[in-house]
Amino acid sequence: MDGVTWAIRTSKRNLEHPALTIDALLNECHNLVVLDRQQNMLRFAHLSVREFLETRLEFTSPEANKMATETWLALLTSATPLDLQIAFHVYAIVYWPAHAQQCQDLITHLISEFLGSNHRPSKLYKDWLTSISELSRPVHINNLHIQPLSHIVIKVAKCLSCASDSPDPILAAAYFGF
């Protein structure tokens, strides 16, 4: 839930609603979404809601992935320190490249800014590498001991960190196909 409110708060389209809460969102969206309290996530109230939204151009897969990538990169580049105990932060660290791959033509400038230039990685990229390397080891989220999140995390961390002290963003661009 933290991810939804953070994404809405930081969206360029919603700067006038900085204090949006889940209750306010549910109130505004009435019968479109419901809160699954067990999973702590929003779900469409009915399949027909999702089917309708998928017919709208602004909700096509590339656009949805663009919005997700912008949200994850906004978090990774914000002044908010990343906390590996917060599932939303972990998701952003691990999965922003997967979302970016689905819409890269729409966000080339963001990816370039995040990665840096050839042989000159940005500080953000280096910080991300540090975070993803930490996730290749067991972590604790909400007092649960969790093994490395996925084999993808381990592969990426090993691949990108093998570049010694100065990891070249070209490796990430090649690995993710940017």
Q: What is the pLDDT of residues 40-56, one digit of tens each?
A: 778 899 999 988 988 88
| For residue 22, pLDDT beyond 70 | yes
Confirm if 66 and 72 have CB atoms less than 8 A apart: no
| Residue 23 binned pLDDT confidence (cut-offs 50, 70, 90) | confident
- DSSP state letter for 34: E
Q: What is the pLDDT at residue 161?
A: 61
Q: How many CA atoms lie within 13 A of 150 on its CB side?
A: 8
Task: Choose between 168 and 108: higher pLDDT.
Answer: 108
| For residue 17, pLDDT beyond 60 | no
The mean predicted confidence, pLDDT, of the chain is: 75
| Residue 132 binned pLDDT confidence (cut-offs 50, 70, 90) | confident
Q: What is the pLDDT at residue 143?
A: 57
Q: What is the pLDDT at residue 58?
A: 82
Q: What is the pLDDT at residue 1?
A: 44
Q: What is the reported pTM? A: 0.69
Q: What is the pLDDT at residue 46?
A: 92
Mean pLDDT along residues 1-18: 49
How far is it, in rounded angstroms, from Cα 105 to Cα 98? Answer: 14
Q: At what angle do helices 123-134 and 108-115 cross, to 10 degrees?
A: 80
| Residue 140 binned pLDDT confidence (cut-offs 50, 70, 90) | low
| For residue 144, pLDDT beyond 70 | no
Strand positions, DSSP E, 39-117: 41-44, 116-117
Q: Of all residues in the chain, what percent carry a pLDDT higher than 70?
A: 71
